[in-house]
Structure 1
Amino acid sequence: MKEHLPALVTLLTVLLMFGTAFAVGRARGLYKIKAPATHGHPAFERAFRVQMNTLEAALLFLPTLWVAARYGFAFCAGVAGLAWLAGRTWYALAYLQEAARRGGGFLVGMLAWMATLLMALVGLGRAMFAG
């Protein structure tokens, strides 16, 4: 099970990204924002920013998760990944309500991402410089 945790985290990340896309589509309908517009009602704009910020964060997070997992830290990277998911979910839900409330979730997600980055760097460094 431990070695499969990064795969589970990856699939949950995909579900989070789907959820944010769904929220944007729902907001488009509620506030009658026609595509390709990306501005309008503040609630739509928050949903749109949550989706874009989640995509941007996932682009940084997923490669570090998998490099860490590949180079000796599968379980620890998976645990950090669960923390990242919790932080990003907190971030998204808070931001959808009020932009100023997103800070705590952002911090948790950023610290978890930094942990996966550190594991990836250490793991790859050990592999590259080990005799």
Structure 2
Amino acid sequence: MTHLPALVTLLTVLLMFGTGWLVGSARGKYQIKAPAVTGHPAFERAYRVQMNTLEQAVLFLPTLWLAANFGFSGWAGIAGLVWLVGRVWYAVAYLKDPAKRGPGFGLAMLSWVALLIMAGIGVARAMMVG
């Protein structure tokens, strides 16, 4: 369980690569020339999934590692896996129908909040001890 956060990090990198791949594929399919970020609605959905995933990963990854390094490695890894499930659910739903993205986003957000609480408790404990 102590290495689960590392696996989650690798899977997160693959998720970010995958969303980038989807955007590149949509650019070609719908002939959206760089640097344009608007055009066909399917391209715009893929682009928003990628950007939102990157935005969320900036919050998620440091919080995951703070929680993992300050006493919650196993639980942080489990919460990280839940975050990944939520993000994939969000992406698949958003690509089909943006109105259906909420549950996946909510699941990922709840798991991030759990990580934030773990990280806060862990850091606070470490500061009190040393």
TM-score normalised over the length of structure 2: 0.99
1:1-131 matches, cutoff 5 A: 2-130=1-129
Q: Secondary structure at the match of 1:36?
A: coil
Q: Give the % identical residues.
A: 68
5+ residue gaps in structure 1? none
Give a deviation string over 1:87-109, Cα, whole Å, max 9, x none: 00000010011110100000000
Q: Aligned equivalents of 2:92 and 2:35: distance in 1?
A: 24
Q: Aligned equivalents of 1:36 and 1:94: distance in 2?
A: 26
Q: Aligned equivalents of 2:51 and 2:79: distance in 1?
A: 22
Moved over 2 A (4+): none
Q: Aligned equivalents of 1:31 and 1:101: distance in 2?
A: 23
Equivalent pairs counted in the alignment come to: 130
Give a deviation string over 1:19-57, Cα, whole Å, max 9, x none: 100000010011000011000000000000000000000
Q: Aligned equivalents of 1:35 and 1:51: distance in 2?
A: 15
Q: Secondary structure at the match of 2:3?
A: helix
TM-score normalised over the length of structure 1: 0.98
5+ residue gaps in structure 2? none
Look up the equivalent residue of 2:19 and give its one-letter code: T
Q: Aligned equivalents of 2:3 and 2:105: distance in 1?
A: 26
Report how far residue 130 of structure 1 moved. 2.2
The alignment's C-alpha RMSD in Å is 0.6
Report how far residue 58 of structure 1 moved. 0.3
Q: Secondary structure at the match of 1:34?
A: coil
